[in-house]
Every structure is written in structure tokens, then in C-alpha cells.
Structure 1
Amino acid sequence: MTNQPSLDSANFPIDRPTSMAAKCWLDDACIVDIDHFVKTLSGLKTKGVRPDLIGSIITHYACKWIPELTNDSPSPLTTNNQSPQQSATALYLKKRFFIETIVSVLPPENDAVPCSFLLRVLKTANMVDVDSNYREELEKRVAWRLDEATLKEVMIPCFRHVRSTLLDVELMVRLVKRFVEMELEGLRSGAGMFKVAKLVDAYLAEVAVDSELALPEFMELAGAVPVQARATDDGLYRAIDTYLKMHVKTAKQERKMLCKLIDTQKLSIEASLHAAQNDRLPVRSVLQVLFSEQAKLHSHIDWSRSFSNSKSPLLGVDTHDWCHSSRDIMTLHQMEIKRLKEHVTRLERQCQVMQMQIGKLSEKKKRFFSWKKLTISTNLRTTTTQVGEERGEEHGYDSSSVGKQTPLKGKQRSKHTKTWRQSSS
């Protein structure tokens, strides 16, 4: 082991700001050996250093020696520390050991390390294939603070060759389910569930572009968030529409299953208008959107009427302002109703045009079959006439009067002709 500078944990600046204390301490110490770093860190813990300060020290130390853990460019110390004589396998194993050591020395407090740093560590841990116990510990810590994550941070690639998707969707499903379990058990409280729901919808919209994403995986991640966690379903509708746009071979029954995830009552006016004109959605889903939008408009109109007929329950509020706001609401509702009526009229016109086209096609079909029948009957008559002429010539009859069977011999023909005329008269 190389000689390390002496570190006195008793003289460590406990009350200094977190980031500055960690940076100054590490820059002065220049710890190179990770075993010495772990021993020094355990000494700091025994001295009662705050967990957030210890977490800041670990974060700064890890980002200094692993470039993947920071968004900045690699530092000169990092570049010089990695010897070019080391093979790729040696660097791979060294990085795995470093990640496992960092996870093992994390403070037990879940709020000691930022979520962004934990996600970068988890991404690197999946890349170097660390032990499952360390990966599970990282996932628990990330799930605890998942409401603080951003979309860019959770877009972790899939490093396993057995998976064909670009992003690790299974990892995201596990993180969301762990977070929901913590919320249901009462371990967490607050508006974190709504943030996670928005994060999941945005993630679904991004991963829906992948043509290799299977429908069960998409639906599992979309259903991992409780229904009540979504204040609006616009994000979920956008993700489903993107999935249907990229997966054109999705069956009709699968489209219905996807659209059942959407609560049409939670769609905004813009999303409802888009869904009403979306030919990728099943007809039943479009009708549900129209009906729900109509029901919402009727409820708003009834509420506005009841409010305008009743007196204001609030004292000290100007009635003129309330009337003015109610008139504005009525105007907006009337504009929305007019827009929906125009859309319904447009749909009726399209239906009429389709019916006219179907009628024209049926008439053409009738004409075709009647012409074909007439052609067949004409050909049959021509064939019968030709056959009769041939038989008449064989038996000695005149070909011009096959049906009359008139003999060709002179006297007999006139006699028989006369008798036939008398009998017919």
C-alpha cells in the first residue's frame, strides 16, 4: 500500500457546508487507495459526522475517480490514474469492485445521497454487472427518492444481451413498484406519487418509439402507477398514441386493451379533440371520448346555471365580478359546444359520403351481375339455335324454321305447311 497522508477525523470540519467541506478535504488528502478511504470514512462516522456530509464526501470521491458518475468531463487525476497498460478486463473488474465498495459504505439514511448520483451509480453497476445484492440495495435507495428523478436520469440503457429493447424497461417497472409499495405502506407521504406518475408517462412516451418494445411490458409499466395518482391522462394518451403510431401491426383487440388504460374523464379539451380525430384509436374509444366530453360540458353548463340562479354564498365579494366570471365560463362552454357540433357535423358528412359510395358500389355490382346474366342467356339462346339448325339439316328440315320442322320436299312441304296453318288458325 502506498503511503497516505495522515487524516485526523477529529479535526474534520463538521459544521462546514457539505459540498465545500468534501471538496476541500479530498483535495487536501488526495486519497488514492480505496481501502484507506473506507477506513477513514468509518472513522468519520464514529466521530458523529452528519450523514449528509458523509454522503457528499462519497459522492465527490466517486465522481473524481469514475468519469461515468459525473456529467462533467473526466478530471486529469482520473485520466492519469488509469494506467494505459491495464487491459479492458482489469479496468472492468476494478470498476466493479469500486462500485460495490461505494455501495457498501453509503450511510443508512436514505436522504444522505442525491437521487441523481444514485441513478448514475445504478447505471454503472448494471454496466459492469455488480453482485445482485448491491444492485438490489441501489434500487431500494433509488425507489425511495424516485420522485426527485428526472426523465434523462431514469433513461438507463439495457446492458443485457437477452433483451432487445434500448432502455431497461424492467428496471423502471421494479423502481415504480417499489415506490408505490412504500407509499401504500405509509413509509412515504406527500405529493411524490403525482410526480412519479408524470415521470412514468414521460418515460412511456420515450420508450414507445422502440419497435422492439412488447405490449405486455408497456401495459405493465403503465399500470404500475395507481389510477388516482394521475391528475390528468394527457401524458398517458400521448404515450399510447406514440406506441400505436410506431407499432402499426398492433391487433384490434390489443388496441382496445391499451385504450382501456385511459380515463376519458381526465382528458383535457385539446386531448379529447385530438382523440376524436385519431384514426389509430378504436371506434368505441372515440365514442367514449365524445360522450365523456359531452357529459362534462353538460355538467359545467348545469353548474353555471345553478350558480347564476342562486345567490353568492361568499360575503364581501362583488356580485358583478362573479357574474362576469360566470359569463366568461358560459362563453367558453358555448365555444366548446360549437366546436364539438362542428366536429359531429363533419363526421356525419363523412358518413353520408361513405354511404353514397357504398350505394354506388352496390349499383355497379347489380349492373355487373345483370349484364352477366343477360350475356349468359344470350349465349345460351345462340347456342340452342345453332344446335337446332345443325339437327334440322341432318333430318332434312329447313334451317330457317327449326321449330316448325317443315320438310324440304316440294309437295309435301306445301301440304304440310298448309295443314299446319289451318290447324294453327
Structure 2
Amino acid sequence: RVSLLILQFPLVSRCGRIRRMVAEAKDPDLSKLELVNVPGGATAFELAAKFCYGSNFEITTANVAHLRCIAEYLEMTEDYQEENLIVRTEMYLNDLVVKNLEKSLQVLCACESLDPMVEEIGFVDRCVDAIAMNASKEQLVSGLAHLECDAGSGKLRMHCQDWWVEDLSALRIDYYQRVIAAMRRSGVRPESIGTSIVHYAQTALKGIERRHVWDSGPLVGDNQRVVVETLINLMATEKITAVTLSFLFGMLRMAIEVDAGLDYRIEVEKRIGLHLEMASLDDLLIPSMQTSESMFDVDTVHRILVNFLQRIEEDDSGDLSPCGYESDGLKSPSHGSVLKVGRLMDGYLAEIAPDPYLKLQKFMTLIELLPDYARIVDDGLYRAIDIYLKAHPSLMESECKKLCKLIDCQKLSQDASSHAAQNDRLPMQMVVRVLYFEQLRLKSSFSGGHSGGGGEYC
């Protein structure tokens, strides 16, 4: 709400709203008007008043959005005077702003406090489209200017630097989402958009510190949750794939940290599942946010593994030869990826096994998810199970038997078998099985068979 003392004529001559208010007041001595919901507030109105009074002031990228909105609010059209404020701001916008990427960004940043008027007049859409079109043009021109011919190979190389990647991080998240969508439509390179999303996330979410299960206190604010959910939704709707696996894991951790909706977390998990074989053990060690459960978020890793296996199944079914692959998956084109994930999961199981709060059923479910052909040897699995048995001495004998049945004794190395044969944490039935297969191994040793060494055991 703005209350002000006015000289009637300069404002009435240029502002339709002021003229109408004065006419409707029917008070010849009127010296005061009250305006409500003024876009840009008193500062914007003061600039409009200066324009009406003929005072000198400069239209800039910092004030053109405010001037355009206040001009619309005051109805400063050509019906009242030529070259009124609406026309003047439109000239500035068309001549200097929309043709320049940097200026378009500056103006869009200045629009944030002008809702809803700035949206109603289409000002934001024009800035968004200008940013996208100018970014696309810059990439085209820069690409052509920097094409170089490699004298050795005759190949063309392109060197481009997208300076706007960092500048976009200054935008409010809803504006940023619209800019990225417009860039996709205008043909901006996917890798540039991916770099921009990574930078925006790093800038907007840098204040979030990793919490642990033993930490207390309120979660981060809704604004950061909106940022995380919007970026994830943006990657999904715009089909943006040019981001790294480490970034996806970072976004997943952030989504958990800010308590983003489950749908958003599942979207990131699906993307991670497409490339799980490239993940590291540290990537999977996601702290649990639930103080009453295990130290690590096992449910999230479980869903990621399910997504990976679904991808493998789809890949294999699509690449089948007319005769098909063997049912054990050993001739599958994805077998190498499955082996990598098998080793990764064995390492993960060993890391989470010492957690005293880890339920047996969750532990076993993770083990059972992987197909048999995911492990050439079961040494890693045996080590993880042994660690779990050591950390959970209160397990019933029936539970120990059930867990140890998941180990294929024929796939243990000689070192692992020797360790298992002397392991008093194992059920007797498993020790017998280990000794039996060790005897078979010894009988065949005269033929030159040799089994490689295993790992370290507790």
C-alpha cells in the first residue's frame, strides 16, 4: 500500500488509473490518493512519478522490469500521451535486452519481486525465451569460431565455454526451471545443460550439511526441498542425461536429507540403477535418517539394485540371439556389469554387516537379489556373512543356518575354505559341507588344478 502527496496534472496526464481515481473521487480539493498492491512498491512508483514530471533518470536492466510493471499498473499507455512509459520500457527491452544474453539474465533476476504483474504481462516469458535463444546462438557462433583441425588426425575439435552456466545459478528455482526447458527446445547442447544443473545444485544446496543418525534438530527448510525436487523433476521431464553418476548420488543424498517426496527419490534411484556397475562403495554408504533403524539406508540401496537388475533383464532380452542365451546368464552381454555389481555388493554387505541394528531379513534380502552368476567366487559373500555373525551373536541357530545356506561352498577359494573349516561361528552343517568340497578339491589337485587366494577374514 502506497500513500503519497501528488501534483495532479503530471500524473493525470500520463496515468489512466490516476485519471480515473481523480475523476471518481469528485473532490476538487483532492490532494491525496491511496494505491494498493503496487508492483515494485514505493520505489517503482517514485520512478514512474519522475518520468511523469520529466525528471532525468536512466532505464537500466535493474529497473526496467519494475518500470514496465508499474507502467502497466498505472495504465501509462499511448492513449494518454505519446511515448508513454510502457512504450519507453518496451523499446529498451526490445532494443537492448532481448538481444543480449547477459542483460536478459539480469532483467529476469530483477523480476522475482514483481509477481503477479510481471507474469500477467508476459515479461518473464520474454526474458526466458531471450536467454534460451541467445545461449543457443552463442553456442553456434562460438562453435564455428573455435573449430580447429587436428593436423595429425584431420579431426575437427570444438572448444566452447558457456559463461552463462554460473550466471544461471542466480535465478530463482522456478525461473531456472523454465529457462532450462526453453534451452532444451532451442537446441542448447545437453552437456551444457547438465553442467548448469550440477552448478545450480552445488550453489543452491551448499548450505546443507550431512546429518547423521545421532544428530538431532530440525530438518532444512522447505525452500531447499523445493530446489531438490524441482531439479530432479527437471532432469526427468526434459530427459537430461548428461550428468555424472557421482552427481546423481549427491542428489539422492540431498533428497533424503531434505525429506523430498518418495517419487523424486525413486526417479534418481532409477537413473543410478542404469549405471550401478560404475558406482563406488562410498557411493552406496548412505546414512539412514531414521534413528530407530540401521545406520545405513539399506532400503534405498535395495531399490537401486532392483532397478539395475531390471535394466540387465531388459538389455539381455533385447539382445538375445535366435537361440537365446543360457539361463544362467553367463553368456549374457551384460555379464561383466553383473560381476562388477556382485563385487560391489559384497563390499557393501561387509560394510553394513557390523551394524547391530541391521535386521537379518534385510541383510538376507540383499544377498538373495543377485543371481548366482553374479559371483564367480563366494569369498566376499562369506566374509560379509562371517562379519554379520560376529556382530550378531544372539542369532538363533536356525537363523544362522538360514543365512549360511546362501553361501555356495563349491565357490569358496582354498583360503576361504580353510578359514571356514575352523570358524566356530558357522553352523556344523556348513563346516561339514566346506570340508566335503575341500576333500574333493584335494583329490583333484594331482591333475594340476589350483584355486586362487581369497581375502581377509575375521
TM-score, shorter chain, exceeding 0.5: yes
Deviation at 1:40, TM superposition (A): 2.1
Larger Rg: 1
Per-residue CA deviations over 1:89-132 (Å, capped at 9, x if unaligned) read 7x520110000110111165574221111111111111211122
Equivalence for 1:213: 358
Q: Does 1:13 align with 2:139?
A: yes
Q: Deviating runs (4+, > 4 A) in structure 1?
A: 14-20, 68-71, 107-111
Q: Does 1:93 align with 2:215?
A: no
2:272 & 2:418 partners in 1: Cα distance?
38
Change (3 A) 1:143 1:18: farther
2:200 corresponds to which of 61, 64, 74: 61
Equivalence for 1:133: 263
Contact 1:96 1:125 in 2 (8 A): yes
User: What's the C-alpha RMSD, in Å, of the aligned pairs?
Assistant: 3.1
2:231 corresponds to which of 84, 87, 102: 102
2:218 & 2:379 partners in 1: Cα distance?
46
Matches within 5 A, 1:115-126: 115-126=245-256
Counterpart amino acid of residue 309 in structure 2: V
1:237 corresponds to which of 364, 376, 382: 382
2:445 & 2:272 partners in 1: Cα distance?
42
Contact 2:409 2:434 in 1 (8 A): yes
Q: Does 1:228 align with 2:373?
A: yes
1:153 & 1:289 partners in 2: Cα distance?
34
2:290 & 2:258 partners in 1: Cα distance?
11
Counterpart amino acid of residue 235 in structure 2: L
1:70 & 1:148 partners in 2: Cα distance?
26
Deviation at 1:32, TM superposition (A): 3.1
Contact 2:169 2:204 in 1 (8 A): no
Counterpart amino acid of residue 39 in structure 1: R
Report the secondary structure of 1:106's partner residue.
helix
Counterpart amino acid of residue 220 in structure 1: T
1:247 & 1:284 partners in 2: Cα distance?
19
Per-residue CA deviations over 1:317-358 (Å, capped at 9, x if unaligned) read xxxxxxxxxxxx7xx79xx9xxxxxxxxxxxxxxxxxxxxxx
Counterpart amino acid of residue 101 in structure 1: T
Contact 1:68 1:124 in 2 (8 A): no
2:407 & 2:265 partners in 1: Cα distance?
34
Contact 2:135 2:188 in 1 (8 A): no
Deviation at 1:214, TM superposition (A): 1.2
Counterpart amino acid of residue 406 in structure 2: L
Matches within 5 A, 1:152-163: 152-161=282-291, 163=292
1:273 & 1:45 partners in 2: Cα distance?
60
Equivalence for 2:242: 112
Deviation at 1:287, TM superposition (A): 1.7
Q: Does 1:184 align with 2:313?
A: yes
1:283 & 1:160 partners in 2: Cα distance?
37
Change (3 A) 1:29 1:140: closer
Counterpart amino acid of residue 280 in structure 2: T
Q: Which runs of 5+ in 1 are unaligned?
A: 72-86, 305-328, 337-425
Per-residue CA deviations over 1:141-167 (Å, capped at 9, x if unaligned) read 111121111111111111135x42111
Equivalence for 1:285: 430
Per-residue CA deviations over 1:352-379 (Å, capped at 9, x if unaligned) read xxxxxxxxxxxxxxxxxxxxxxxxxxxx
Counterpart amino acid of residue 125 in structure 1: A
Deviation at 1:58, TM superposition (A): 0.8
2:158 & 2:419 partners in 1: Cα distance?
49
Contact 1:55 1:112 in 2 (8 A): yes
Change (3 A) 1:249 1:60: same
Deviation at 1:228, TM superposition (A): 0.9
2:166 corresponds to which of 24, 27, 34: 27
Equivalence for 1:171: 300
Equivalence for 2:348: 203
Change (3 A) 1:53 1:296: farther
2:182 corresponds to which of 40, 43, 57: 43
1:217 & 1:150 partners in 2: Cα distance?
21
Deviation at 1:292, TM superposition (A): 1.2
Per-residue CA deviations over 1:242-301 (Å, capped at 9, x if unaligned) read 001111111111111111111111111211111111111112211211221221232342
Contact 1:19 1:56 in 2 (8 A): no
Paired-residue identity, %: 36
Deviation at 1:196, TM superposition (A): 1.2
2:265 & 2:159 partners in 1: Cα distance?
26
Matches within 5 A, 1:326-405: none
Per-residue CA deviations over 1:389-420 (Å, capped at 9, x if unaligned) read xxxxxxxxxxxxxxxxxxxxxxxxxxxxxxxx
Change (3 A) 1:18 1:52: farther
2:159 & 2:389 partners in 1: Cα distance?
46
Contact 1:18 1:53 in 2 (8 A): no
Contact 2:190 2:240 in 1 (8 A): no
Contact 1:18 1:52 in 2 (8 A): no
Contact 1:119 1:153 in 2 (8 A): yes
Per-residue CA deviations over 1:209-260 (Å, capped at 9, x if unaligned) read 1101111111001111111111111110110000011111111111111111
1:276 & 1:101 partners in 2: Cα distance?
55
1:272 & 1:9 partners in 2: Cα distance?
63
Counterpart amino acid of residue 102 in structure 1: L
Change (3 A) 1:68 1:238: farther
Contact 2:255 2:265 in 1 (8 A): yes
Q: Which runs of 5+ in 2 are unaligned?
A: 1-107, 112-126, 147-156, 211-216, 319-332, 454-458
Deviation at 1:29, TM superposition (A): 5.2
Change (3 A) 1:211 1:292: same
Contact 1:63 1:69 in 2 (8 A): no
Deviation at 1:201, TM superposition (A): 1.0
Equivalence for 1:422: none
Change (3 A) 1:92 1:12: farther
2:399 & 2:390 partners in 1: Cα distance?
14
**Greater fraction of residues in helix:** 1
